[in-house]
Amino acid sequence: MRFPLHSLRISILAQLAFLIVAAMLLISVVMLSFQEHAFIQGKLQQGRLLTLTLSLRFKDMRVSGAKIPTGKEAFTRLIRTAGFSGGSLMDHKGTVFFISGPGGELRQKGIAQARQALVTGKSATRFSGQTWGVLWLASDAVIMSAPVLDGRRVLGSVAVWSSLRNVYQEIRRSEKLILIYILLNTLVLISVGLYLLSRSVVNPVHKLLHITEAFRKGESLPLFPAVTENEMGQLNRSLKMMLKRLEENKEELQAHIASLEKANEEIRKTQAELIKSEKLASVGRLATGIAHEIGNPMGIILGYMDLLKRNDLTAPERQDFLGRVEAEITRINGIIRQLLDFSRPAGGEPEETSVHEVILATLKMLEPQPLMAGIEPNIRFDAARDTIWADPNQLQQVFLNIIMNAADAMDAEKSLTIRTFTTGNTITIQFEDTGTGIPEQDMDGIFDPFYSTKPPGKGTGLGLSVSYTIIKGLGGTIRAENNPGPGVTITLDIPLYEGKDMEHERKN
């Protein structure tokens, strides 16, 4: 069975192997250190026994009066049998009468230490030089010396010396066995540990992971494995409770979503009704003005009709009167047509709309209104682009509400400035009047529904609220601020049309 490199088993295996190998290596270091110490102590013990044996043999020979040369071979055999590389015997005068082993610095140090034992009358052990031991640097050789005593009288001294390299080599030979032991122990411990950890940790985690991955929307709670009393059992129980809570929360969320969708639909219907109501109110105000405006051409038409009934008219005069009547009727038809076009229910479908064209159409529709008397709009179209994605009928309603509010607010000095300009991908439309302005305490509430500063019967309080809703739906903003002089400036910022991508983004 293959496991991913980043799986829990591989992670546990790597960490377990590292810990076991590190522990075994530490144990082997300690074992080798103890072994090295034991070997050296054994060597020192052999040296003490050797010096004692040589001292006794030397003392016996002196007491018995035997010839020294006859004992040299025995001394040499004793030194080699004990594993030492050399030794020396010295009489009480400091004369070396026996020495064995190769020459060199170690031999000279051995003789010097034998003389020191002759002078001090005390045994001594000295380590000499440095070499690479088992794990780190260690002493290269050992020199042991002891005086030969007859009671309190010093008969001479004895010294033996030996290199410790053979001790280190013997220990290094055992290192291979230790490494094999570490490898076998590591494999066994990793296998057993991985099996136990897999059974108690990895397998339960995989089961829980499989349960969470298999849990999908609309499915019932899955079956959980048998629960134990350890931490995995607690995790199992916690996961079960969490999934149960998720299931309950999902049902509540679905209910909330359904409720929100219903509320949003009701809000959209309410907004549409508000827009329709404000539109009808605007149509009513326009119709009142138009009724007065139509009265004049109707009187003119009736006068010409009376003249046409006379029989003394010449043909050119009759033709002239008919032309004048036709012109007045055309004028009335245009006024009524504009009102009908505006009052017609909007299709609600946005399209590529020219802001400048909608502003001009709105001003033309308001031109016959008595409230526009004495107002000559100052139009400054500085926007290089004016195409937006909007319902032109709703946009016209916004402009109509703003212009009519401005006309109502102006009394003596009547000046309305309409300017446009672009900033990045946004077109800005400003309507600046010279009216009475808006009190600062009322500025924050002018876009609220049914909020109006006009006297009762002069407005519905929905015009700016509906305008705010329409502009916000276009992704734009609307704001009002008092001018430094008289009047108010209403500013609209609307995103420009950027093609099909923007259309798709708005739909989503």
Q: What pLDDT was estimated at residue 291?
A: 59
Q: How far apart are CA 459 and CA 103, in angstroms?
A: 128
Q: Does the pLDDT at position 441 exceed 50?
A: yes
DSSP secondary structure letter of residue 363: H
Mean pLDDT value across the chain: 76
Among 57-71, 122-136, 219-233, 452-466, where is mean pLDDT lowest?
Answer: 219-233
Q: How far apart are CA 180 and CA 454, in angstroms?
A: 101
Q: Does the pLDDT at position 456 exceed 50?
A: no
Place of tokens 């008969």: 155
Q: 384 or 466, which is more confident?
A: 384
CA atoms within 13 A on the CB side of 486: 13
Query: What is the pLDDT averaged over residues 314-331?
Result: 74
Helix/strand/coil percent split, the chain, to 5: 60, 15, 25
Place of tokens 């001790």: 167
Maximum Cα–Cα distance for the chain, whole Å? 194
Q: Does the pLDDT at position 190 exceed 80?
A: no
Q: How far apart are CA 139 and CA 128, in angstroms?
A: 6
Q: Say if residues 338 and 365 touch (Cβ distance below 8 Å).
A: yes
Q: Does the pLDDT at position 183 exceed 60?
A: yes
Q: Does the pLDDT at position 380 exceed 90?
A: yes
Q: Give the strand pairing for 417-423 and 96-100.
A: unpaired
Give the helix/strand (H/E) hosting 447: none
Q: What pLDDT was estimated at residue 218?
A: 47
The reported pTM is 0.43
- Closest by CA to 53, choosing from 19, 77, 35, is 77
Query: What is the pLDDT averaged over residues 462-481?
Result: 85
Highest mean pLDDT among 31-35, 376-380, 418-422: 418-422
Q: What pLDDT was estimated at residue 71?
A: 57
Q: What pLDDT was estimated at residue 232?
A: 58
Highest mean pLDDT among 9-18, 402-411, 454-463: 402-411
Q: 176 or 85, which is more confident?
A: 85
**Integer CA distances (angstroms), 7 to 18, 195, 205, 251, 359, in order:** 17, 15, 11, 35, 68
Conformational region of residue 121, where left means phi above 0, alpha means psi within -120 to 50, and beta covers everything else: left
Amino acid at the residue 65: G
Q: What pLDDT was estimated at residue 69?
A: 47
Q: Does the pLDDT at position 354 exceed 70?
A: yes
What residue ranges define each of the domains in the chain, with the CATH number in brackets? 8-187 (3.30.450.20), 349-508 (3.30.565.10)
Reported as a single tens digit per residue, the pLDDT across 145-165 is 999 888 778 888 899 988 888
Give the helix/strand (H/E) hosting 504: helix 500-507
Q: How far apart are CA 422 and CA 459, in angstroms?
A: 32
User: Which of the four pLDDT bands, split at 50, 70 and 90, describes residue 2?
Assistant: very low
Token pair listed for 114: 């034998």
Q: How far apart are CA 66 and CA 85, in angstroms?
A: 26
Q: Does the pLDDT at position 371 exceed 80?
A: no
Q: Does the pLDDT at position 339 exceed 80?
A: no
Q: What pLDDT was estimated at residue 226?
A: 54
Q: Does the pLDDT at position 323 exceed 50?
A: yes
DSSP secondary structure letter of residue 219: P
Q: Does the pLDDT at position 331 exceed 80?
A: no
Q: Say if residues 86 and 79 touch (Cβ distance below 8 Å).
A: yes
Taken in order 462, 464, 465, 466, the sign of the CA dihedral is positive
String of DSSP letters for 283-324:
HHHHHHHHHHHHHHHHHHHHHHHHHHT-SS--HHHHHHHHHH
Among 59-63, 292-296, 329-333, 353-357, where is mean pLDDT lowest?
Answer: 292-296
Q: At what angle do helices 392-409 and 315-343 cross, to 10 degrees?
A: 100
Place of tokens 């400048």: 356
